[in-house]
């Protein structure tokens, strides 16, 4: 996620703790707060159409507060960001990357980053593997989808075949390596979604069949 270092960094610090017991994947419909946390953190102050100051209010016919420009009428919607990544596999080994950037500097992750405009989710996942680990992959199938409502992000992780083992750290990685199951640094993983995706992957590989999953990752303290 090199191109978005500054922008991407904002959200990740929040879900630092891996809870021992994962929340159920049962879907609980919750009404969003009037203004999401995300909106507060990334509050729009000026209209990007005309440059006037905006006000934050609920537009007529809407249910949530938006940044509204009273000068030109533009309503600035803020919506969740998609993060795409993959589990690159070569034989019985999985490619992981040690982060060279905050948050979670020095911890291990799967290659993933913010999707760019005008690319597909699978293209974005392959691009991130190339950027973070100089890894060439074939994206095989969607594997896990995690919603992280408190930071307004959705992760889409794919299973991928690593085409060769000629990998090396990209600018966002201190180190990259191929690990077998017993070499996964479980206590040094950067994000809950990495841990959950790897746990599912190991279990599914043992079972001989991969099952696509979705779930929610909630703030540890709320």
The binding site for Zn ion (CB under 5 A) comprises 47, 49-50, 52, 69, 71-72, 74
- 3-state secondary structure at position 86: strand
Cβ closest to Zn ion, residue 27 vs residue 71: 71
Q: Are 115 and 124 in contact (CB under 8 A)?
A: yes
Cβ closest to Zn ion, residue 74 vs residue 212: 74
CB of 70 to Zn ion, least distance (A): 8
Q: Are 106 and 15 in contact (CB under 8 A)?
A: no
Burial label, 186 (beta-carbon count in 10 A; 0-12, 13-18, 19+): exposed
Say how far residue 34 (Cα) sits from the centre of its chain.
24
CB of 112 to Zn ion, least distance (A): 35
CB of 56 to Zn ion, least distance (A): 14
Cβ closest to Zn ion, residue 57 vs residue 161: 57
CB of 77 to Zn ion, least distance (A): 14
Burial label, 44 (beta-carbon count in 10 A; 0-12, 13-18, 19+): middle
What is d(CA 28, CA 10) in angstroms, rounded to the nearest whole number? 26
Cβ closest to Zn ion, residue 27 vs residue 50: 50
CB of 30 to Zn ion, least distance (A): 32
Cβ closest to Zn ion, residue 68 vs residue 148: 68
What is d(CA 56, CA 69) in angstroms, rounded to the nearest whole number? 9
Annotate 2-25 with b (16+ C-beta within 10 A) or e (fewer). Answer: eeeeeebeebbebbeebeeeeeee
């Amino acid at each position: 996620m090199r191109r978005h270092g500054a922008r991407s960094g904002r959200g990740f610090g929040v879900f630092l703790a891996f809870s021992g017991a994962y929340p159920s994947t049962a879907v609980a419909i919750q009404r969003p707060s009037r203004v999401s946390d995300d909106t507060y953190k990334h509050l729009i102050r000026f209209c990007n159409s005309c440059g006037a100051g905006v006000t934050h209010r609920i537009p007529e016919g809407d249910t949530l507060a938006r940044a509204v420009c009273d000068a030109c009428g533009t309503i600035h919607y803020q919506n969740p960001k998609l993060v795409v990544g993959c589990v690159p596999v070569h034989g019985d080994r999985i490619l992981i990357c040690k982060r060279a950037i905050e948050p979670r500097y020095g911890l291990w992750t799967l290659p993933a980053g913010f999707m760019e405009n005008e690319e597909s989710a699978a293209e974005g996942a392959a691009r991130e593997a190339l950027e973070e680990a100089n890894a060439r992959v074939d994206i095989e199938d969607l594997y896990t989808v995690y919603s992280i409502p408190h930071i307004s992000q959705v992760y889409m992780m794919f299973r991928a075949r690593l085409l060769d083992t000629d990998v090396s750290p990209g600018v966002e990685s201190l180190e990259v390596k191929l690990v077998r199951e017993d070499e996964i640094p479980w206590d040094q993983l950067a994000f809950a979604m990495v841990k959950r995706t790897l746990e599912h992957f190991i279990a599914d590989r043992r079972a001989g069949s991969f099952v696509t999953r979705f779930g929610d990752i909630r703030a540890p303290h709320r």
